[in-house]
Structure 1
Amino acid sequence: MSIITESQLSSQLLLAGAAFIAAIVIDIYKEKIPNKLCLLVIVSGFVINTYYAQLEGVLMALLGFALAFIILLPTFLFRILGAGDIKLMMGIGALMGPELLIYSLMYSFCAGTGTSLLFIIWKTGFTGLAKTLKRYWDCFYLRTYFKPEPGEAAGLRVPYAPALGLGWLWACSLDSDISELYFNWNIYLAPGTT
């Protein structure tokens, strides 16, 4: 596999970061990630990787794209993630490649617990969370299903783009190529350097 250049990695990181910021804001307020944003990231991933690495870039983008679809399809079928989340990560896979995609997904599943809990508390408060926990206990103890009540946390649709973005940031922070690029940027941007 060819070595990724600093300009290629910079382009990938800036585009992925901008895509995650847009997706998070839209997902929180509109509960949907637009197809146009996902398509832009997918096409950009193929274009950037093809431009910098020709055929190897196309193969890397295709592998990242397909791997995201394969890994995340069951989460859509079981209604864990929405189609927008999956399409966004297919774009990130096409843009960043399969390795960073896998780590991003692993870390996003960890981050999802925290972001979901914060979102639930933000929307319903601690009382909504307490109602849900009590209902779960009643369902378990009485062995009967009770539907969620209004104002309860279980009735909320939780946006997952924040968890996906945090997982991506976490994966980026542990990647040696990205750390080296960040170090080079700091040297270049530091006052008094030429």
Structure 2
Amino acid sequence: MSTSVLCDLLLLVFVTAAAVSDLIRRKIPNRLVLAGLLAAFCLHGWLAAPSWPWNSLGGMATGFFLFLPLYLLRGMAAGDVKLIAMVGAFAGPWPTLLICFATFVLGGLMALLIVTWQGSWRACWRNLRQLLWPLMVRTAGLALAPSPPASQPSVGNMPYGLAIALGTLLVQGRNYF
């Protein structure tokens, strides 16, 4: 078994465990993410690739900083951000960028399915309007009176760990299918 196959297989084991945990308990355990980070660093260190620390750290930073704004906007949980950072430690910067984009597309499709399944399109549009209205007004060059954001209930709780696992499988699996 080649070393890249071993890395990809171990990565898929960790993201699958995270997806299952997110589906069942709506939580990605910190122990799982920490074990994945440790496994990634140990495996890459054992393989002794000359650029392994920078490759792993660059992948972690890529995933972390691409998902951090969504966490700050309360669009996803911290476990999802930590999980994509772990994926980056295994994959490196460029594959992590591709995994993030695949995850965003798959997550969007999952969100559309959830909103359709629950029949909550009206609440979804209301929340989107509330989120995007200040941006549109400021882009048009108009002044916006400061006002506290109204607290609207979320239209659904999505297990984003599943989207991350599917995005990882899609990008890393393209070499094997």
Q: How would you bin the TM-score normalised by the shorter chain? A: 0.7 to 0.9
Match of 2:158 in 1: 158
**SS of residue paired to 1:33:** coil
57, 60, 73: which is aligned to 2:55? Answer: 60
Deviation at 1:138, TM superposition (A): 10
Worse-matched range after superposition: 84-93 or 154-163? 154-163
Q: Find 2:92's aligned residue among 86, 97, 100.
A: 97
Question: How many residues are paired up?
Answer: 160
Compare relative contact order (CA 8 Å, sep 6+) and give the higher one, 1 or 2.
Answer: 2
Taking only the aligned residue pairs, the percentage that are identical comes to 28
> CA shift at 1:130, angstroms?
4.7
Equivalent position of 1:132 in the other structure: 123
Q: Which of 39, 42, 64 lines up with 2:37 in the alignment? A: 42
Select which of 71, 78, 84 maps to 1:83. 78
The whole-number CA distance in structure 2 between the counterparts of 1:60 and 1:25 is 28
Letter in 1 for 2:168: W
User: Structure 1 stretches of 5 or more lacking a match?
Assistant: 1-5, 140-144, 183-194
Matched, 1:30 2:25: yes
Change (3 A) 1:41 1:166: same
Deviation at 1:89, TM superposition (A): 0.9
Question: C-alpha distance in 2, partners of 1:137/1:61?
Answer: 35
Deviation of 1:71 (Å):
2.1
Deviation at 1:135, TM superposition (A): 5.6
TM-score of the pair, normalised by structure 2? 0.76
1:189 matched to which residue of 2?
A: none
Contact 2:115 2:121 in 1 (8 A): no
**Cα separation, 2, equivalents of 1:170 and 1:16:** 13
Q: Secondary structure at the match of 2:157?
A: coil
1:90 to 1:113, Cα distance in 2 relative to 1, 3 A: same
Report if aligned partners of 2:66, 2:100 keep a CA contact under 8 Å in 1: no
Matched, 1:114 2:105: no
User: Who wins on radius of gyration, i.e. which is larger?
Assistant: 1
Amino acid at match of 1:24: A
Which whole-Å deviations, capped at 9, do the CAs of 1:151-190 have from their partners, x for residues lacking one? xxx442222111112211221244xxx23xx6xxxxxxxx
> Retained in 1: the 8 A contact 2:102–2:167?
yes
Unaligned runs of 5+ in 2: 131-148
Secondary structure at the counterpart of residue 114 of structure 1:
helix
Counterpart residue identity of residue 62, structure 1: L
Q: Deviations over 1:53-73 (max 9, x none)?
A: 344222211111122222222
Give the counterpart of 1:19 among 7, 14, 17.
Answer: 14
